[in-house]
Amino acid sequence: MAKYIFVTGGVASSLGKGIAAASIGCLMKSRGLKVTLLKFDPYLNVDAGTMNPYQHGEVYVTGDGAETDLDLGHYERFLHADMSRQNNVTTGQIYESIISAEREGRYLGQTIQVIPHVTTEIKSRMTALGAQADIVVIEIGGTVGDIEGLPFLEAARQLRLEVGKDNVVYVHVTLLPYVKASEELKTKPTQHSVNKLREIGIDPDIIIARTERRLTEELKAKISLFTSVPREAVIEALDVETIYEVPLLFARQGVDEQILMLLRSRCKQRDMDQWSRMVDAAKNPDHELTIHVAGKYTELKDAYKSIWEALAHGGIANRSKVRIQYIDTENADLERELASARAILVPGGFGDRGIEGKIEASRIARLRKIPYFGICLGMQTATIEVARNVLKLKGANSTEFNAKTRYPVIDLLPEQRKVRQMGATMRLGNYPCKIKRSSLAAEAYKAGQVLERHRHRYELNNRYRDDFEKAGLKITGIYPKKNLAEIVELKNHPWFVAVQFHPELRSRPLEPHPLFRDFVKAALANKN
């Protein structure tokens, strides 16, 4: 029978609850248990697909094409396992299925209510995953006390009653703010948030206290006294240099041992050797490197979370620290800012804001022979640039940015033209990509075919493919079924690779994505 570990949050948002949940999952997996994670998002959107990355960070796409919360990215990176649409459930989804069942008459005349109908639906999502794993770590989004979160917490409470005390553990992540004037860490907000949890009927078993300073034994004792959580179950979660250190930080404080004791679970010793070596490589690099990222959401790091992580993984593979310099393509003087760049990455994006600047960044990379990695939109900008400046197709564009362009080198396929509904209608999730021999892609992947994840509507227009090949922009990856260009590379350039998919979604710290690894390698080789 599966065991369930709930992770809730208190005091403030953005405490790294997702990383805490993923780290617990990572430790459980290292003990040979079959682990999966579930994120509940209490918002009404059916999925994250239509949400602005400014508000919520990047939209993470799973292999089966679900547009999910970015925490699923952490889950995949900490677990080295693929998540699916079952691993992220929103209030919108819960209500959608209840309402459609009601319309079908499946409730046989009952009055449909939050308790029991909504909570039952929520529990069924938990147990569906429980049927596939030894351990299900369940993160409840938001902060305890939010109105939207209540049905999820109620379901978490009920589940313990149903599956038994030994099969459920509650972990609560809180913040200990440091007050400068009195030079103290404050425990009061934690007390309040635990009380709030108690009102709902949940007694936390473990408290993970986020803090910038070390916790003294007295403070631990105080938290323990006020929350009735044993002292050894009050865990200090100090800020760390790399997020991949968090599982080790938890292991040192025996978080996994305590959870297993509460769950009366027997399993093998933890084995974090390979993980520790990776963290060691991340913390002690031999090189340092700055990569210029010409994007749109430059103010918010979370908007490109997976790219950031994939670059870090590429760095680890090359024993290099990778710093990112964001370039605002709307306002910056690109010639000046990119003149000394060692490598340029143009990430994915939607809409025409800053687009001319991104096209310009692709041009600078081509002409100055700066290693270039284009991702999704970054492949489209590279293509538009070559069309305009090498093929001399004046005004060439994507029909996303100019519907009336004379040269639609990037365009919609007929099936996308018909789309009226925005949610979940892009080309999403895994598609096979056939790799051309003797290409940079083949050198990186060392495989004839790969599977990569997509999230876009527009494609390279096949009408121009021969022209691009002649101009030196080689199509080196193809989705065979529809004969679509998935990878392009520039000839006579040290490293210029642009892909229509999102390779960053498949990069893991212990298995860095081959294209990110080789991009970082090319950047290190560029002594600009």
Which has the closest alpha carbon to 270: 284, 291, 253? 253
Q: Which stretch binds ligand GLN (CB under 6 A): 73-81, 329-337, 452-460, 483-491?
A: 452-460
Does 487 participate in binding ligand GLN (rule CB under 6 A)?
no
**Closest approach of ligand GLN to the CB of residue 248, in Å:** 34
Nearer to ligand GLN, 204 or 347 (CB): 347
Does 348 participate in binding ligand GLN (rule CB under 6 A)?
yes
Nearer to ligand GLN, 196 or 502 (CB): 502
**Closest approach of ligand GLN to the CB of residue 495, in Å:** 20
Q: Which stretch binds ligand GLN (CB under 6 A): 142-150, 173-181, 455-463, 466-474?
A: 455-463
Which has the closest alpha carbon to 25: 361, 256, 287, 220? 256
Residues 123-152 that bind ligand GLN (CB under 6 A): none
Q: Which residue has the tokens 């999952």?
A: 25
**Closest approach of ligand GLN to the CB of residue 457, in Å:** 4
Alpha-carbon Rg for the chain, nearest whole angstrom, is 25
Does 457 participate in binding ligand GLN (rule CB under 6 A)?
yes
Nearer to ligand GLN, 79 or 359 (CB): 359
Does 506 participate in binding ligand GLN (rule CB under 6 A)?
no
Does 377 participate in binding ligand GLN (rule CB under 6 A)?
yes
Q: Is 156 exposed, middle or buried (0-12, 13-18, 19+ CB in 10 A)?
A: buried
Bond from prior residue into 116 cis (ω within 30 degrees of 0)? yes
7 - beta bridge partners?
139, 171
**Closest approach of ligand GLN to the CB of residue 128, in Å:** 30
Torsion 299-78-140-106 (CA) sign: positive
Instruction: Indicate the DSSP class of residue 59.
Output: P
Q: What is the per-residue binding string for ligand GLN in 350-369, x denoting contact by CB under 6 A?
A: x-------------------
Phi, psi angle pair for 438, to nearest 5°: 40, 60
Catalytic residue among 58, 154, 452, 504: 504
Residues touching ligand GLN, count (CB under 6 A): 10
Does 458 participate in binding ligand GLN (rule CB under 6 A)?
yes
The rounded Cα 35 to chain-centroid distance in angstroms is: 18
Catalytic residue among 117, 376, 433, 486: 376
Does 61 participate in binding ligand GLN (rule CB under 6 A)?
no
Does 455 participate in binding ligand GLN (rule CB under 6 A)?
yes
Q: Where are the beta strands (DSSP E) in 395-436?
A: 397-398, 408-412, 427-435
Structure tokens, 143? 């902060």
137 - beta bridge partners?
5, 37
Q: Which stretch binds ligand GLN (CB under 6 A): 203-211, 267-275, 348-356, 505-513?
A: 348-356
Does 304 participate in binding ligand GLN (rule CB under 6 A)?
no
Nearer to ligand GLN, 330 or 443 (CB): 330
**Closest approach of ligand GLN to the CB of residue 59, in Å:** 9
The rounded Cα 350 to chain-centroid distance in angstroms is: 18
Nearer to ligand GLN, 292 or 456 (CB): 456
**Closest approach of ligand GLN to the CB of residue 29, in Å:** 30
Orientation of helix 514-525 relative to helix 305-317, angle to 10° = 70
Residues 384-413 that bind ligand GLN (CB under 6 A): 400
Residues 415-434 that bind ligand GLN (CB under 6 A): none
Which has the closest alpha carbon to 362: 341, 340, 342, 384? 384
CB contact set of 165 (below 8 Å; sequence gap of 6+): none
Instruction: Assess whether 502 carries a catalytic annotation.
Output: yes
Structure tokens, 200? 């709902």
Q: Where are the beta strands (DSSP E) in 311-352?
A: 320-328, 344-346
Q: How far apart are the first and last CA of the chain?
A: 58
Q: Which stretch binds ligand GLN (CB under 6 A): 136-144, 260-268, 449-457, 503-511?
A: 449-457
Catalytic residue among 74, 313, 456, 502: 502
**Closest approach of ligand GLN to the CB of residue 310, in Å:** 15
Structure tokens, 30? 């290292």
In the bound state, the residue with its beta carbon closest to ligand GLN is 348
Instruction: Assess whether 376 carries a catalytic annotation.
Output: yes
CB contact set of 175 (below 8 Å; sequence gap of 6+): 10, 11, 12, 15, 189, 190, 209, 210, 211
CB contact set of 205 (below 8 Å; sequence gap of 6+): 169, 170, 171, 229, 233, 258, 259, 262
Q: Which of 123, 125, 456, 493 is close enough to bind ligand GLN by CB under 6 A?
A: 456
Interface positions with ligand GLN (CB under 6 A): 348-350, 376-377, 400, 455-458
Residues with a known catalytic role: 376, 502, 504
